[in-house]
Amino acid sequence: MRIEIWADVVCPWAYIGKRRLEAALADPALSARDIEVVWRPYRINPTAPPQAVPVEPALRDPLVDATAARCAPDPATAEDQVPISRIAAAEGLGPAWGAAWRSSSHDAHRLLALAHEHGGGPLQDTVAEHLMRAHFVEGHDISARDTLRTIATTAGFAEGAALIDTDAADRAVRELRLIGKARGIKTSPTIVVGDRALAGAQPPDVIADFLATAGPNRDVPEEVGRLRYAESLLELRDPLGALTLLQPLLDQHGDDLNVRRLAARAYFTSAQLGRARHTLEQLVTDLPDDSYLRLMLGRTLQRLDLDDQAAPHLKIAAAMTPEFA
């Protein structure tokens, strides 16, 4: 069973959730199972500055309700009006507690992705532990490259110390964040097994029950997954994100009709009208009886102020599908 933890390493509930997951996995009913834990990137604050800024002392240990909107367990099970440090202490975290710095966690997520690539789940989990301990207990700036190099080396990932100064895993992390969005991940942490998700740092018994009833992972070919996630991003009105996920498919399977259709929709929705026109004209040639492609091409030509060229396509689309009139 593969357990995915979608979480931000600068989210206190991610660290608390890690301890609660570990307690759940110690349950005899689960400890005998073949389990892989994989950390996936989530950003609780995508606008956090790339250069770290100090956190105000009064904000280093906020009350639970102050962080619940972005980074907390299910409100139905959340503790009320207590410092997060008290909850962390109950999970064996501390004794000191509180982030001293606020900054982007992108490079920390790159280090996690690289750890998984080079050493699998166990190494990645060790790096995650070192990152969150550095951030919440030791007060280090985990956006700083020298801090990340130290963490990589201490965690037994010497290759990571060198790779962090490159752009390695940058695209992978950005794509994974888009996949998380496409899958509906909205809380840090969220535990995902197959198509089921458990949001928040839930108590160990809740996590254990969730895992005990989880079905097997259903792996699909990467190309199929990318196509599905890109389509979901289009439905979420993120055409640029959809195109990011589609680009490898366009490079490797540029003749596939499903890939071309989705790319055309994304180009049209993101107002890349030249690319939309080029793609749609080819599609309409290949699929002349597809009314929706005709409609999109007509609308694209209209937006390019080519009404005379748009009219025949719009007329054909309306004739084939009256609601397009």
**CA–CA gap between residue 297 and residue 281 (Å, rounded):** 7
Domain range 222-324, its CATH number among 1.25.40.10, 1.10.1520.10, 1.10.3720.10, 3.30.479.30: 1.25.40.10
Q: For residue 25, how far is the Cα from the chain centroid? A: 24
* Cβ neighbours for 107, distance < 8 A, ≥ 6 positions apart: 143, 145, 148, 164
Q: What would the pLDDT profile of 8-53 be if each residue is shown by its tens digit? A: 999 999 999 999 999 999 988 887 788 999 999 999 999 999 999 9
As its CATH architecture, domain 2-212 has 3-Layer(aba) Sandwich (3.40)
Whole-angstrom distance, CA of residue 225 vs CA of residue 217 = 14
pLDDT digits (tens, 9 = 90+) for 96-138: 999 999 999 999 999 999 999 999 999 999 999 999 999 999 9
pTM over 0.85: yes
**Which tokens belong to 202?**
């839930």
Q: How far apart are the first and last CA of the chain?
A: 50
**Do the domains at 2-212 and 222-324 have one common CATH topology?**
no
Q: Which residues contact 263 (CB under 8 A, 6 or more apart)?
A: 243, 246, 250, 279
Q: What digits encode the pLDDT tens for the residues 206-235?
A: 999 999 988 777 888 999 999 999 999 999
Residue spans of the domains in the chain: they are 2-212, 222-324
